[in-house]
Amino acid sequence: MIVVKVGGSTGIDYDALCEDVAALWREGQRLVLVHGGSAETNRVAEALGHPPKFVTSPSGYTSRFTDRETLEIFEMVYCGKQNKGLVERLQRLGVNAVGLSGLDGRLFEGKHKDKVRSVEGGKVKVLRGDHTGTVERVNTGLLTLLLESGYLPVLTPPGVSFEGVAINVDGDRAAAAVAVALQAEALLLLSNVPGLLRDFPDEASLIPEIPAGEVESYLGFARDRMKKKVLGAAEAVQGGVKRVVFGDARVRQPVRAALSGRGTVVR
C-alpha cells in the first residue's frame, strides 16, 4: 500500500499524475490518493470577493485563516472541482475512483481549533473564528472497505471535528495520518518542487536523502508549506511508515519517479 499526496500549487500536471496512478493501479499496486487545491481556492476566493487571509504563527508556520465563508469556498474547490476533476480523470482511465472528503464517513477526525496566534506587524495576536484542526483519527474501516471492494479512494480536506463541524486540516499531515493508519510502505508527498531544497529555490540544492530519525532537524531548510511536509514526514516515519518521499508532481510518471527515489527520500 502506498499513499500519494499531490499538492494544489500551480504547475502540477494532474493528467500525468492520474495516468501514472491508473497504470500502477492496473498493475495491482494498491494506493490511496490525497490531494490539495490551494492555488485554485485562492483564485476562486479572489473572484468571489473574499480574498484569502494567511497568518503566520510565532514559530513561522504560514496557514490560511479559515473563517466560515472561506471554509465554504474551500469546500467548493477541494471537494468539488479538484476532487471530482481527479475522479473523472481516473474514471476515464478505467479506474473506479471514489472521491471523499474527510467529512464523509468521518474519514479525518480531529479537534476544532477556533483561535490561532498570528504575527502581524511585529505583534502577536489571537485571531478567533478559525475553522481548523489536526487529524487525530482516520476511519480506516471505511478505507479498507473501499480498497477491498476494488475502489481507489481519492481523499481531500476538510476533516470533521469531534462535534461534527467541518475543519480545515493540513493535507500533507492528513496524508501522513492515512499512511500511518494503513501502515503504508511508502508515503509520497508530491508538489511543484523537486524535493526538499537546502537553498530554496535553487533546485540544484536538492537534499537527496534524510535519515528517518533526523527529519525534524531538517525543518530549518523548509520554507512555508514545505514545513508541514517535513512535519508530516516525521509523523509518518514515527508512526511506522518505512519511506517518505518528497517528489516532483510536474514530471511525467511522478509516482514512479518518487518510488524510484527521485526527490528527497526519508527512511
Binding site for other proteins (CB under 8 A): 36, 38, 57-59, 61, 63-64, 66, 113, 115-117, 123-128, 130, 132-134, 157-158, 167-171, 225, 228
Question: Is 192 annotated to bind ligand?
Answer: no
- The residue with cell 484569502 is 52
- Rg (C-alpha) for the chain, rounded Å, is 17
Of 69 and 203, the one with the shorter C-beta distance to other proteins is 69
Closest approach, Cβ 265 to other proteins, in A, equals 24
Report d(CA 53, CA 132) in Å as an integer: 14
Of 48 and 124, the one with the shorter C-beta distance to other proteins is 124
Report d(CA 168, CA 260) in Å as an integer: 32
Of 9 and 29, the one with the shorter C-beta distance to other proteins is 9
Closest approach, Cβ 125 to other proteins, in A, equals 4
Cα-based distances in Å from 99 to 37, 115, 186, 194? 14, 30, 21, 27
Length reported for the chain: 267
DSSP 49: T
Of 19 and 172, the one with the shorter C-beta distance to other proteins is 172
Q: Locate all alpha helices (DSSP H) within the chain, ordered by sequence.
A: 14-26, 38-47, 68-75, 83-92, 140-148, 171-181, 225-238, 254-259
Question: Is 42 annotated to bind ligand?
Answer: no
Closest approach, Cβ 173 to other proteins, in A, equals 9
Closest approach, Cβ 5 to other proteins, in A, equals 12
